[in-house]
Structure 1
């Protein structure tokens, strides 16, 4: 049975939903991805750069990617056209259906440090049988289709949990290309020094790269422009301060590395889809 090129189950406000795409040609995510759902991303075919937090991964067919909720991430084109992928999204409400021990086990991939699992042939066969079975249920919607779909969602989480138990944080499985590794160095420098003045010229000098090469290659490997990633890193810190402290919003702006308050408000609203004041208010209501 042939699958449609796009399939979806559930909505973004649900505890669990999933999206499948088979894309022709070249494609990079247009929108910045920063949301509360955890993700499992499986690449059936093709090749992608996947940038998570401060590291670029070269993802190949048969790789399973683990993305914790609220961690900045984005996929981008490696130059190889065509890819097929599925993304399963879980928010914290999803785990409420399990007992405490089961929930902790199923959450564990998102609390660990491994972000990429390179599956061997038997593992890949098992995962693809599971996922294609789920996708057939989503496409055909026979009576009771929700049961095998939800079962597959839990089964993939369990596979990821068992696969990551006892695994080291870094391994040969996560090896990236030399270019991606260099861009990871740049991203980690930005993440460590976001309160300082960071410009393309300063970064290119520090890493002995021409500004044009750094700008072009960072964008290709991470999906973000340099200034865009600096802004995102600062906004993530601002969100933490708004949630966890009683600092005035102007102080949050300064402590996050912004030297212009109006620019801070503009960038915050673009990324968080709300004002800093509204963002803080929603956490105050939950107390």
Structure 2
């Protein structure tokens, strides 16, 4: 059996913060059905989700993927996702978030190469024991450093040591990319598979003029039947789902660009600014301009351990 990741509930390892050009945040915690997120979310930074319990489901852009112990889910910035945990017992997991400066500190091509596994169509990795052992060993060295430092927030030389070890981790993750043995599992029934195909289409075409008739035609299904089954499988009407996907992408652009709000509205598929304002306020309880102002990076950082991971 390969070495296990050292787990300590509610243990955090922090290097810098989200306002810096380089930061790391390691979050060891448990999640249960009660904490399952209602809808997918996205980030402006990279995220690695490592399941430390037997089984869970991870949704990436509307498609469910079954994961098991020690699977690595790699999420590039702005990729909509959520985790769904079984109801039997709380599930342990490690979530690592990080970000690097765009110029790669003088090693732009190298960093871009290291991060290519995050851009895979299905960015989930399951490794044989030998490769798993190498990756887990590095993560455990980082955990040991946090205990040696006597603080969950790294300072001084410890920051450089964590950065050095994590760069090694990314190097081996990239080097082992072709060893991936993860296989996607189809939903248990054909109907759910077709519904998730529609959900994924919405995620990748939210900027277009989407209609129930066109979505139904794409999977050769009656529009009324699709509307009913979509609500049964996802918990949302098709209109609600389209609006949620568009709003999530608007939120990302509001926080991570200086684009005009009117431009963001049209870029995300809203046909009128008044419609955008109305839908945004319905889901966020504030206007787009109020959201942009209130959701400062400092506030996001303070709330990260509580709200940004699941």
TM-score by length of 2: 0.67
Q: Which deviates more from structure 2 when the two are superposed, residues 72-81 or residues 138-147?
A: 138-147
- Contact 2:265/2:276 (8 A) holds in 1: no
Q: CA RMSD in A?
A: 4.3
| 2:69 maps to 1:58 | no
| 2:275 maps to 1:260 | yes
Q: Which deviates more from structure 2 when the two are superposed, residues 103-112 or residues 20-29?
A: 20-29
Q: Which deviates more from structure 2 when the two are superposed, residues 256-265 or residues 106-115?
A: 256-265
Change (3 A) 1:80 1:256: farther
Counterpart for residue 210 of structure 2:
196
- Per-residue CA deviations over 1:199-256 (Å, capped at 9, x if unaligned) read 9xx7995595783x6435425xxxx886554223223665799969989559728943
Change (3 A) 1:150 1:124: same
Q: CA deviation at 1:126?
A: 2.1
Change (3 A) 1:155 1:19: same
Aligned pairs for 1:24-35 within 5 A: 25-26=32-33, 27-29=35-37, 32-35=40-43
Q: CA deviation at 1:37?
A: 0.2
Change (3 A) 1:155 1:198: farther
Structure-2 separation of matches of 1:5 and 1:238: 34
Aligned pairs for 1:1-287 within 5 A: 3-10=7-14, 11-14=17-20, 15-23=22-30, 25-26=32-33, 27-29=35-37, 32-93=40-101, 96-97=104-105, 99-141=107-149, 144-164=157-177, 173-179=182-188, 181-191=193-203, 194=206, 195-198=209-212, 206=223, 211=228, 214-215=230-231, 217-218=233-234, 229-235=241-247, 248-249=262-263, 252=266, 255-256=269-270, 260-266=275-281, 274-275=288-289
Unaligned runs of 5+ in 1: 280-287
Change (3 A) 1:262 1:28: same
Change (3 A) 1:254 1:18: closer
Unaligned runs of 5+ in 2: 151-155, 294-310
Q: CA deviation at 1:260?
A: 2.2
Q: CA deviation at 1:114?
A: 3.8
- Contact 2:30/2:91 (8 A) holds in 1: yes
Change (3 A) 1:54 1:97: same
SS in 1 for 2:73: strand
Structure-1 separation of matches of 2:181 and 2:176: 15
Structure-2 separation of matches of 1:94 and 1:241: 17
- Contact 1:134/1:152 (8 A) holds in 2: yes
- Contact 2:250/2:268 (8 A) holds in 1: no
Q: Alignment length, in residue pairs? A: 268
Structure-1 separation of matches of 2:54 and 2:224: 31
Structure-1 separation of matches of 2:187 and 2:117: 26
Q: CA deviation at 1:91?
A: 1.9
